[in-house]
């Protein structure tokens, strides 16, 4: 059985970024559920529990980095839309690897509000177009 509203998971060790992302989402997107995690391990636990439609995922975090989380999520359900965030935008190999592993896109830090909002909307739109909007993936 599906849920009524999509879920967005924010995984970032920076409290300031988590709060910023939540404000962007709450200001512009109505009827979404937002959950947060402070590191990769906690993020995976939240992913497994809630099966979010979109994940905003930092690359560099303690306990487990974003690439490990991305690999695990994509192996479990490649239909999940993952937006990677990083301040390391000069590393083209890293950015290419994120895309190759299945990330929808990456958003550089510091993040512009409209760029983050566009990425979230793109992810939700892809889920909706695939008939997955707000649906719990089959596991």
- pTM of the complete model: 0.90
- Is 83 domain-assigned? yes
- Is 46 domain-assigned? yes
* Beta strands 54-58; 7-11: pairing state: parallel
Q: Which domain holds residue 31?
A: 7-129
For the stretch 77-120, pLDDT in tens is 999 999 999 887 777 777 788 888 999 999 998 888 999 999 99
pLDDT at 138: 43
For the stretch 37-91, pLDDT in tens is 999 999 999 999 999 999 999 999 989 999 999 999 999 999 999 999 988 777 7
Give the CATH number of the domain where residue 94 resides.
3.40.50.2300
- Is 55 domain-assigned? yes
Q: How many domains does the chain have?
A: 1
Full strand arrangement of the beta sheet holding 81-86:
33-37, 7-11, 54-58, 81-86, 105-108
- Is 136 domain-assigned? no
- Is 1 domain-assigned? no
């Amino acid at each position: 059985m599906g849920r009524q509203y999509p879920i967005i998971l924010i995984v970032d060790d920076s409290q300031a970024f988590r709060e910023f992302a939540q404000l962007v989402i709450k200001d512009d997107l109505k009827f979404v559920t937002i959950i947060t995690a402070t590191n990769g391990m906690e993020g995976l636990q939240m992913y497994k529990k809630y099966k979010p439609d979109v994940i905003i995922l930092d690359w560099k975090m303690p306990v487990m980095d974003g690439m490990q989380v991305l690999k695990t999520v994509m192996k479990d359900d490649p239909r999940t839309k993952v937006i990677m965030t990083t301040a390391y935008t000069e590393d083209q190999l890293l950015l290419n690897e994120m895309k190759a592993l299945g990330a929808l896109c990456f958003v550089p830090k510091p993040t512009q509000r409209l760029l983050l909002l566009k990425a979230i909307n793109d992810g939700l739109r892809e889920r909706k177009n695939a008939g997955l909007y707000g649906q719990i993936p089959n596991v």
